[in-house]
Chain A
């Protein structure tokens, strides 16, 4: 039984321009203690998916489908019940620690919030626990730092504080929304290490939202690739990244610097567009007339779920075609 199972989740934003379908019929499972990586390019709906789980989206967003967490459908919960789930059941590690902390409250006050909110803990007791948490995440001079304001801390320190905040309620699922965004290589390694520590310490499942394939490789058991609001490929991290089946995933892997830095041509379609066939059609190297009109369903190939009509079992050849094609263009 999965800890969290998302079934046919569709999240739509009602905008002036029309309906923006940020998540389209997404189904995912996260098991206890598992790390699932959600990768994809900017604007493909990764973060929206993460926020949909916590119901933290703006008012013009409508989610339909099912998000089953521990046998309860989160989408059916009331606002008050959702407040209880957030932080204590499902934690959220925000994108950038620099802006995730309230600039006018001391670190210590913000750290103890989760404990005070959920467990009705008195301030002193919450403080002791929060300090322990900080210490275990490797922050020095915790007591001194707790009296500081966020702007007095370095980026790495803030990262630790935010990480500590997200696990104060001892959630069994942690959603990390691009935790390595905008970090240099050293800090990125630290964050990966931090996340690893977090999952080991709390035995929590982790939903890692990232566009950094290397981070995903380092941390994830399973990987789901998202493109234009849909999950196009889903399987074990090893299989998906070493032997990608979907042309988009192949393109992603080929765009890594060590694989030659080949970009995928074109742009992803607007989430406003209703496309009957494959959403990757306009950029796909193996496309065919059928792709344009025929609805694409999920298929399982070697334990990997792929949303493509023409999945080649040997992804290798396609990948080479991909790379070579662009190399010659570049020359």
Chain B
């Protein structure tokens, strides 16, 4: 497998695997109950008992980060998967059929793009009420347009190529051509977008959580930990540093993976010797 040759990709994959493992086995890994308050231990710096210190309620930040990985990954992956799937399907249809179909789909995209993403997500999440699932719905609703646009643009160029005609001459129907021939040709930019998208979804969900629309306290979410800790930035910076690092590492890891996957999926970029 080529993917293991690239060190950065490998690093990204290892980090993501560790993250996923952490998320799955969170209850076994945490030294403390993430929601248990020990007010006499509040705002302690990192020490042996609390590897990342404690927050203003005396909760173990390390444990909360570990539990936060669950929700963050869930939101990031689910939101990106749904918005990419919707965006790809609509983008393929718009680019492939053109004409009225294209016009209608792209005008809907324009309408959605006319609203600032986070504000629209706020409105939707506000309408649906607080909760993790509603945040996911809201973020997916504002995240699919980019995919649709990129896919449509690429399809417009790719569908004119001769191999599409060849596929038709072999008796392939529209759906087959779209998903079998066009999709692999347009997937590379989508993968790069999606890798960044996971990070963005994690950040955006943190923003919504901060405004009280995401996971409700005391559920541990990296974003809200960051927001909560910012009032103690000068006296206890570890409240923000560690959740921030968690977000940073996660987003970086997905970026590395995205780059590696692009190289793997697009044979035109392969530098493989031809015997």
* Contact between chains at B171 and A114 (CB < 8 Å): yes
Given contacts A100-B162, A104-B266, contact A94 B169 (CB under 8 A): yes
Q: Does B165 contact A (CB under 8 A)?
A: yes
State which residues 162-209 of B face A: CB under 8 Å: 162-163, 165-173, 176, 180-181, 184-185
Contacts of A92 in B (CB 8 A): 166, 169-170
Contacts of A166 in B (CB 8 A): 169-170
Beta-carbon nearest neighbor of B170 in chain A: A87
* Contact between chains at A113 and B184 (CB < 8 Å): no
Contacts of A100 in B (CB 8 A): 162-163, 165-166
Contacts of B161 in A (CB 8 A): 99
* Contact between chains at B169 and A84 (CB < 8 Å): no
What is the minimal beta-carbon distance from B265 to any residue of chain A, in angstroms? 8
What is the minimal beta-carbon distance from A208 to any residue of chain B, in angstroms? 16
* Contact between chains at B172 and A94 (CB < 8 Å): no
What is the minimal beta-carbon distance from A183 to any residue of chain B, in angstroms? 16
Contacts of A102 in B (CB 8 A): 163, 167, 181, 184-185
Beta-carbon nearest neighbor of B184 in chain A: A104
Contacts of A96 in B (CB 8 A): 162
* Contact between chains at B171 and A87 (CB < 8 Å): yes
Given contacts A99-B162, A152-B274, contact A54 B169 (CB under 8 A): yes
How far, in whole Å, are A80 and B171 apart by their CA atoms in the complex? 9
Looking at chain B's contact residues, the main secondary structure is helix
Beta-carbon nearest neighbor of B270 in chain A: A149
Interface string of A79-108 (1 = CB under 8 A from B): 110011111100110111001111111000
Q: Point out the residue from A84, A151, A165, A169 that lies within 8 Å of B166, measured CB to CB.
A: A165
Q: Does A118 contact B (CB under 8 A)?
A: yes
Q: Does B268 contact A (CB under 8 A)?
A: yes
How far, in whole Å, are A21 and B170 apart by their CA atoms in the complex? 27
How far, in whole Å, are A91 and B171 apart by their CA atoms in the complex? 9
Q: Point out the residue from B170, B267, B272 that lies within 8 Å of A169, measured CB to CB.
A: B170
* Contact between chains at B171 and A83 (CB < 8 Å): yes
Contacts of B165 in A (CB 8 A): 56, 94, 100
What is the minimal beta-carbon distance from B74 to any residue of chain A, in angstroms? 31
Q: Point out the residue from A56, A85, A87, A99 that lies within 8 Å of B163, measured CB to CB.
A: A99
What is the minimal beta-carbon distance from A104 to any residue of chain B, in angstroms? 4
How far, in whole Å, are A94 and B165 apart by their CA atoms in the complex? 8
Contacts of A56 in B (CB 8 A): 165, 168-169
* Contact between chains at B176 and A117 (CB < 8 Å): yes
Given contacts A100-B162, A100-B166, contact A84 B171 (CB under 8 A): yes
How far, in whole Å, are A87 and B163 apart by their CA atoms in the complex? 14
How far, in whole Å, are A79 and B168 apart by their CA atoms in the complex? 11
How far, in whole Å, are A114 and B166 apart by their CA atoms in the complex? 11
Contacts of A44 in B (CB 8 A): none
Q: Does A207 contact B (CB under 8 A)?
A: no
Beta-carbon nearest neighbor of A148 in chain B: B274
Among B168, B265, B274, the one with the most A-chain Cβ atoms within 10 Å of its Cβ is B168
How far, in whole Å, are A46 and B67 apart by their CA atoms in the complex? 68
What is the minimal beta-carbon distance from B166 to any residue of chain A, in angstroms? 4
Q: Does A162 contact B (CB under 8 A)?
A: yes
How far, in whole Å, are A272 and B166 apart by their CA atoms in the complex? 28
Beta-carbon nearest neighbor of B187 in chain A: A104
* Contact between chains at B167 and A113 (CB < 8 Å): yes
How far, in whole Å, are A88 and B266 apart by their CA atoms in the complex? 31
Interface string of B252-275 (1 = CB under 8 A from A): 000000000000011110001010
Interface string of A92-135 (1 = CB under 8 A from B): 10111001111111000000011001100000000000000000
What is the minimal beta-carbon distance from A162 to any residue of chain B, in angstroms? 7
Contacts of A87 in B (CB 8 A): 169-171
Beta-carbon nearest neighbor of B265 in chain A: A104
* Contact between chains at A101 and B163 (CB < 8 Å): yes
Given contacts A91-B169, A99-B161, 13 further A-B contacts (CB under 8 A): A83-B173, A92-B170, A94-B165, A100-B163, A100-B166, A102-B163, A102-B184, A104-B267, A105-B180, A113-B180, A117-B170, A152-B272, A166-B170
Q: What are the 3 tightest A-B residue pairs by CB atom distance, in nearest-first order?
A: A92-B169, A87-B171, A87-B170
Some 10 contacts from A to B, beta carbons below 8 A apart, are A56-B165, A85-B171, A86-B171, A94-B169, A100-B165, A103-B185, A104-B266, A105-B184, A113-B172, A117-B170
